Structure 1
Amino acid sequence: MQDFLLHRKNRSYIICHIATWQLYFFAIFRGVMRQLSIFDKVLTQVNDALTTVFTVSSDARKSPAEKIDDVVLTEKEKKNSMGYMRVNHTGEVCAQALYRGQSIGCRSEKTRRMLEQSCIEETDHLAWTKQRLSELNGKTSYLNIFFYGNAFFIGAVASLVGDRWSLGFVSETEIQVAAHLEKHLEKLSMADLKSRAIVSQMQIEEMEHDKKAVAAGAVELPLPIKQLMQLHAKVMTTLAYWI
């Protein structure tokens, strides 16, 4: 009888021991999978960054300039157009990064979907400006990858303070971008109808994104933050125009 009880005790110990190890390995497996999931997300973000900076989307809508006949521009007009289209392209690179940075820290799934949709729509602008640069025999900014990283960081930090503040950054960014585009229209040659058509359409859509952000609950940012954003934009536009 004693041997039987001892056998049952040993058997129960072995079963419990096996179950413990199973739970242990399951916990390790979950930890590894969680790490892989984070690693996958990092790889996705890196891939998105490289795709944004170095490629052109094949899914973009047709450019507003597609059906406009090109005209011969003077060297001065051409150089000026290249500079402003390069600035606009870099601005769209930053917009992609900002939206993606903000989306990773969203509390609300609705806000995340809105940011992701805006990011997709901005992809068209990215393609249009790059296409126009190619037509002008111009190049995109060599600093785009650095601008992308900086904008992504700003977006990620903004997302940490809450969705409404994050949307406030979107709203203010779009307002400032639309203002920049208005200045570009004033400075672009009247003869460069293609560039002007692209900038005009971009301006309309940037204001639509601002309205969506406000409708989603964006708060107005304090004046010091707006001024800091303007200073940051000034540095970006100045460097991108030339480099």
Structure 2
Amino acid sequence: MLEKSCEEETDHLAWTKNRLEELGGHASFLNLFFYVNSFLMGVIAGKMGDAWSLGFVEETEIQVANHLETHLHRLSEHDQKSRAIVEKMRDEEMHHEKAAVSAGARELPALIKKLMRCHAAVMTTVAYFI
């Protein structure tokens, strides 16, 4: 399960990078920080055991799918290529969430979910302005 999800996440990064370049943009200058941050959060979740780690995957994928949904609402109806990429990414994130649940994810406490949402909000806000 995790290997396929990892491959798909790598695809998401490549699709996003390529589309940004096609549109004359670039990835965030903070990507290295985001990668290190994600890795460290994964290490911490992994230390808590499989069920909690899968719970972290489940909640992350829910939040990412919701974030992608907000992008879909903002994207122009005329930009079908970007919409197709974001829709595919959202669908795969939702599949990852279901796979984590099927593999035995333990639901995270509400406080942890809220902290994750706050953390994501800080990351996306900072990335927007840099």
TM-score, length-normalised on structure 2? Answer: 0.96
Distance 1:123 1:148 in 2: 12
Larger radius of gyration: 1
Distance 1:115 1:193 in 2: 30
Tell me, yes or no, if structure 1 residue 197 matches structure 2 residue 84: yes
Shift of the alpha carbon at 1:122? Answer: 1.1
Aligned twin of 1:131: 18
Distance 1:187 1:180 in 2: 11
Distance 2:127 2:20 in 1: 13
Distance 1:122 1:151 in 2: 12
Shift of the alpha carbon at 1:235? Answer: 1.1
Tell me, yes or no, if structure 1 residue 168 matches structure 2 residue 52: no
Residue correspondences, number: 130
Q: How does 1:58-207 map to 2 (within 5 A)?
A: 114-207=1-94
Query: Structure 1, unaligned stretches of length 5 or more?
Result: 1-113
Query: Structure 2, unaligned stretches of length 5 or more?
Result: none
Of stretches 233-242 and 194-203 in structure 1, the one that deviates more from structure 2 is: 233-242
SS at match of 1:174: helix
Distance 2:114 2:102 in 1: 23
Q: How does 1:28-67 map to 2 (within 5 A)?
A: none
Distance 2:11 2:105 in 1: 24
Aligned twin of 2:123: 236
Higher RCO structure (Cα 8 Å, ≥6 apart): 2
Tell me, yes or no, if structure 1 residue 227 matches structure 2 residue 93: no
Identical amino acids, percent of aligned pairs: 66
TM-score, length-normalised on structure 1? Answer: 0.52
Distance 1:182 1:121 in 2: 18
Shift of the alpha carbon at 1:160? Answer: 0.7
